[in-house]
Amino acid sequence: MKKSFLITTAIDYVNSFPHAGHALEKIQADVLARYHRFLGENVFFLTGTDENSLKNVQAAGKEGISTRELVNRNAKKFYDLKEVLDLSLDDFIRTTEVRHIEGAQKLWKACQKDIYKKTYQGLYCVGCEEFYKENELVNGLCPEHKTKPELIKEENYFFKLSKYRNQLKKIIEKDEVKIIPQTRKNEVISFINSGLKDICISRLAERGRGWGIPVPEDSTQVLWTWFDALSNYINALGYAEDSKKFQEWWQKNENKLHVIGKGILRFHGIYWIAILLSARLALPERIFVHGYLTADNQKMSKSLGNVVDPFPLVKKYGTDAVRYYLLREISPTDDGDFTYPKFEEKYNADLAGGIGNLVARVLTVAEKTKLGGIEKIEPEFEKEIKKTHYNCKSALDNFKFNESLKAIWDLIGFCDKYIEIKKPWETKEPKVIYNLLVSLAHIAKLLQSFLPETAEKIFDQLGVSPFDKKFLKFRIKKGKLLFPKLNNKFTQLNKI
């Protein structure tokens, strides 16, 4: 039987439109989904939108429209990323869907033994949808959003998080749920060691103007956004009805990966695990945590006006150019900066002058050369191609997207040097051309997870199939340049 691989991203707040930071996470997850399909595994790739947040209510109020209108409009923009970024999604869940509402309420009931009601006063950040202790604030502000939390006093439901402290610590320390990278694992252990307090998991329905999922058997309260949102991972699989799909992909599947940003690690690495323990459900296997995409070294923020819109970015440069920059130039686990000048510089150097130039040069000569019955490449090429496959896979197994792409571009550089030495445009030597064509086919094969459209174009121009185990016969059909060089001076696109 084929191995199964479940991969999820965080579901995004829809109080605003998506920005390039959202694109980074979705593209990273898509590469992993495509890679595991390439390995022959059954893959289920899930993403979606978090629509029951209080911040959505507030955003709709500012626009003078209903919350429903706002979430429907903005959720569509997030769904549209599927086509714009060429995401190989298997499902997209919205937390206003019936399947999610029923699942979230079922999960609440499954945790009932660990839920109690009490009056509480605390500092609440709407941006995070979380209460903060005073010593967690930075100069009195939310450490994440740099805004002053609101003092809230309510009678709400609480979850006995403190009950699971020792169990959580053991699970994280022993990698029963492996958190990647190690620095993020250390953060979670440090937070657990600082002492876990029970968490508030509901709010008054009145405060949210009735928006949200009602607490079972108490219509005066709605589920806390995070208790609600985290359950999307199992609700999309049919948790509400305990479906066969849920059993296969969650309960019996050990190969489950969450891809999230560092700002929501606590919710996934502690709260989600505790909720699953309470409900006696299977745990995820791994949590991969990426950094933030910054603009001019500042976290992208609508209030700062530095949020880059992925839609015009893709329209101007193309999907694969955007995918390449975010995967190659942005650290997989640390913050990475986006600037248009750097983007265009990398586009011209690596895409137009790298893979694009190599394909054009090789195919131009190949069209005029008869290859005859050559069926084997030279040993030096065989060795280089094997090394590239190994390095690419090894890096990707460790979530090092940038290093995996570097390995591919090293092979491109190897081919470029070979061309300069052999000068095939003069010699027209069939063996030389064949070495290069086979190398291009392997480059395309390796690019399938990263730049799927580009890989397909290369295969089409070579006249071979990506499913070929050996590339023996080529039917050259040279097409347009893969990445035309950018000659115009940099012009900044519209920002959100």
Which pLDDT score is estimated for 128?
A: 63
pLDDT of 496: 45
Given the residues 170, 302, 315, 383, select the one marked as catalytic.
302
pLDDT of residue 370: 84
CA distance 408 to 388: 6
Q: Which of 106, 299, 445, 457 is catalytic?
A: 299
Buried b (16+ CB within 10 A) or exposed e, 275-307: bbbbbebeebbbbbbbbbbbbeeebbeeeeebb
Q: Mean pLDDT throughout 356-365? A: 96
| Mean pLDDT on 100-107 | 98
Q: What is the average per-residue pLDDT within 90-105?
A: 98
200 is catalytic: no
Mean pLDDT for 138-162 is 82
User: Given this model, what pLDDT does residue 124 score?
Assistant: 74
Q: To the nearest whole number, what is the mean pLDDT of the chain?
A: 93
The string of pLDDT tens digits covering residues 165-175 is: 999 999 999 99
Q: Region 406-432: what's the mean pLDDT?
A: 95
Rg (CA), the chain: 25
Question: Is 22 a residue of the active site?
Answer: yes
Q: Which one is catalytic: 36, 106, 111, 125?
A: 125
Active site residue 100: no
pTM above 0.85, yes or no: yes
Residue boundaries of the structural domains of the chain: 4-290, 340-462
CATH tag for 4-290 (out of 3.40.50.620, 3.40.50.300, 3.30.390.30, 3.10.20.30): 3.40.50.620
Architecture of the domain made up of 340-462: Orthogonal Bundle (1.10)
Is 415 tagged catalytic? no
Q: What whole-number distance in Å separates Cα of residue 165 and Cα of residue 270?
A: 9
Res 246: pLDDT? 98
392 given a catalytic annotation: no
Helix (H) or strand (E) holding 124: strand 115-125
Q: What pLDDT digit, counting tens, does each position of 295-343 carry?
A: 877 877 766 778 899 999 999 999 999 999 999 999 999 999 999 999 9
pLDDT digits (tens, 9 = 90+) for 271-295: 999 999 999 999 999 999 999 999 8
What is the pLDDT at residue 374? 81
State residue 129's pLDDT score: 66
Average pLDDT over residues 57-64: 93
